[in-house]
Structure 1
Amino acid sequence: MSLLRIIAVVSSVLAAVTILLYFLQEKLIFYPQHISRETANHITSAFKNVREITIRTQDGTRLHGWFLKNSSGKISKLLFYFGGNAEEVSYMVYELQRYKDWSAVLVNYRGYGMSEGAPAEKKLCSDTLEIYDYFLKKPDIDNPKIAVMGRSLGSGVAVYLARNRKADGVILVSPFDSLASVGKGIFPFLPIRLILRHKFDSAVLAPKINLPLLVVTASDDKVVPPSHSKKLSEKWGGKVNAIEIKGEDHNSVSLRAEYWDGIGRFLDGL
C-alpha cells in the first residue's frame, strides 16, 4: 500500500470517528441514573430532617431533589452539591448528615433521578443559578455562609455557580480544567475542541473566583487524571487547599475517612 493510500485511509477513519463522536457526545458525557418513587419515599421516611423538593425552571422543566436541614438553629449554613456524570445524588442525603450546622441542597440534573428533561451544559448551568436563587430567598438560610461542592462533571457546574453567585468556599472533587482537555487526552488526534458542544471550561472562569478552594483528588484516577485538577488549581483566583487520597481511583475516592474528614475541616474553616 502506498504512502498516499495509507494517509487517505487514516484520514477517512479519523473523519468517521470525529463525526461519530460529534453526534454521540451526549451519550458519552452524560449517563443519567434514575430513582423510583418508592426509593424517594423511603429516603424521606428514613430521615426526618430531609424533605423532597421540586423546582420548576423558567422553561417549565421540573427538577427534583432533596433539602437536608442539618442545623438545630433557625438559620443554617448551606451547601450546594453537584454530582458526577453518572451520579444520582440521593445517597448524599446520608453522607452529608455528618456535617452539623450545614444544611444541603441536592438536586438531580435534568434527566437524572426524577428530574425532567435532558442534560446539557447550558441547561445545567442555568438551572444551578435558579436553584441557588430559590433557596437564597428562604428566611432560614444564612446568606453569608454558602459553600459549593461539585464532583467530577459537577465540578464544572460548581465553578460556574461560584463565578456567578456569592459563596464563601468551593469544594471540588476530581475536577478538570475543561472537558475538552480531558477529551483531548483520550482522543489526542481528534479536533475535540471543535466538535464539543459541552465544554465545561472551568479554567477560563477560575482566575476570576477569589474564594477558598478545596481540591480532592485520587492518586490512581484514570478518568480525570490529577494533572487536570492541578491545572485548574494553578489558575484559581483564591487560596487553594489540596488533598490527595492515595491508592484510590475516580469512583473509590470517597471511600476513605480522610476524604470526609478533609471536607469537614474545610467547611469548619469557612
Structure 2
Amino acid sequence: MRRAPIIIRWQTMHRSRRAMEWLIFAAAIILGVFATAWLTQERLIFFPQPITSTAHLTTLAEPLEVVAADGKRLHGWIVKGATVPGPTVIYFGGNAEEVSWTLADAHWPREWTIAGVNYRGYGESEGTPGEPELTADASAIYDAVTLRQDIDRTRIVVFGRSLGTALAVHLAATRPVSGAVLVSPYDSLTAIGREHYPWLPVSLLLRHRFDALADASRNRMPLLAIVGEADTIIPPERSRALFDAWEGPKTWLVVPGAGHNTLGASEIFWDGVAHFLAER
C-alpha cells in the first residue's frame, strides 16, 4: 500500500516525459518545414528556362544585350516595329517564361517595337534571379532601350505578365512611361503565398516579396489589367487589390474561362492589348 504513491508519481512523470518528447518532435517538424521553406523558396518562385530555339523569331528581331549594375550580362531581343522612331513595349515575363516566344507572337500591333530581356538565369542571361536583382535589372533594361535612336521615348508602355507585373509596376513608378499593361497582376507575393500556403508564416519567411501595392498608388498613367476568370494561381481578388490601388485611369478586362497560362490564346486578350496601345 505504501508503494502506490510512488507508482502514481512514476506514471505521472512518464506521461509528462512522453508529452514533452512529442512536443519536441512536433517542434522539430515545424522548424524543419520552416527551414525548408526559407532555404528552398527560390525554387518555388523562379523556374529558369533555357533557349531551345530562336527559329520562331522573325527577321525583325535583333539581339539585345544589357549590362546590369553589377556587371552581369542580360540577353534578349528587340523586334522592330514599322514606325521609326517607334512606340515601344518593354516586356517582363512570368516566372517560368523564356521571353522569345512572347516576342515572336504575331498578334503584336505591327507599328509597335517590342523589347524583352530574359531574367537572370533564364535563357542566356547571366546570374541568379532574386527580387532586388530583377528590380534593378528592369531599370537597366529601360535605360538601355530608351537610349536607342529608333525608340520614341514619349511612347513607352511597360507590359508585365504574372511575376513580371511587379517589375512593370515599379518601373512605371520610377521611369517615364505612357501606360502599363498588367496580365495576371498581384498586390504582393506575400499575399499570393498566404493563398497557397495558409499554414506557413509567409510574411516572416518570404525574402522575395515583390510588393507592388505601394508602387501602384504612385502611378497615374493609364493601366490595362487583364485577368483570367479561372485563374487559380493568381486569384482575381489579388489582381483586383492591385487594380484598386492604381491611381491613374484604368481598365479591367476579364477573359472568360481563361486560366493563368491560357490568357494569351484568347482574341479578347489581344484585342484588348491592341486597343490600349492604339490609344497611347
TM-score category (smaller protein): over 0.9
Shift of 1:43: 4.4
Q: What is the alpha-carbon distance in structure 2 between the residues aligned to residue 7 and residue 239 of structure 1? A: 54
Match of 1:31 in 2: 47
Match of 1:134 in 2: 144
The change in CA–CA distance for 1:10 and 1:173 in structure 2 (over 3 A counts) is: farther
Q: What is the alpha-carbon distance in structure 2 between the residues aligned to residue 240 and residue 19 of structure 1? A: 41
Q: Is the 8 A contact 1:96 1:104 kept in 2?
A: no
* Matching of residue 54 in structure 1 with residue 65 in structure 2: yes
Q: What is the alpha-carbon distance in structure 2 between the residues aligned to residue 220 and residue 43 of structure 1? A: 29
Q: What is the alpha-carbon distance in structure 1 between the residues aligned to residue 106 and residue 72 of structure 2? A: 27
The change in CA–CA distance for 1:246 and 1:11 in structure 2 (over 3 A counts) is: farther
Q: Is the 8 A contact 1:221 1:249 kept in 2?
A: yes
TM-score by length of 2: 0.89
The change in CA–CA distance for 1:184 and 1:8 in structure 2 (over 3 A counts) is: farther
- What amino acid maps onto 1:250 in structure 2? H
Structure 1 stretches lacking a partner, 5+ long: none
Match of 1:90 in 2: 100
* Matching of residue 148 in structure 1 with residue 158 in structure 2: yes
Q: What is the alpha-carbon distance in structure 2 between the residues aligned to residue 266 and residue 105 of structure 1? A: 18
CA root-mean-square deviation:
1.9
Q: Is the 8 A contact 1:30 1:86 kept in 2?
A: yes
Seq. identity, %: 37
Shift of 1:7: 6.7
Q: What is the alpha-carbon distance in structure 1 between the residues aligned to residue 106 and residue 246 of structure 2? A: 26
TM-score by length of 1: 0.92
Shift of 1:248: 1.4
1:1-47 residue CA offsets vs partner (Å, 9 max, x unmatched): 99x777766554333211110000001000000104xx23x345xx2
Q: What is the alpha-carbon distance in structure 2 between the residues aligned to residue 263 and residue 7 of structure 1? A: 56
Give the structure with higher Rg (CA): 2
Match of 2:221 in 1: 211
- What amino acid maps onto 1:112 in structure 2? Y
1:30-79 residue CA offsets vs partner (Å, 9 max, x unmatched): 0000104xx23x345xx2211112222231211110001012x3210010
Structure 2 stretches lacking a partner, 5+ long: 1-14
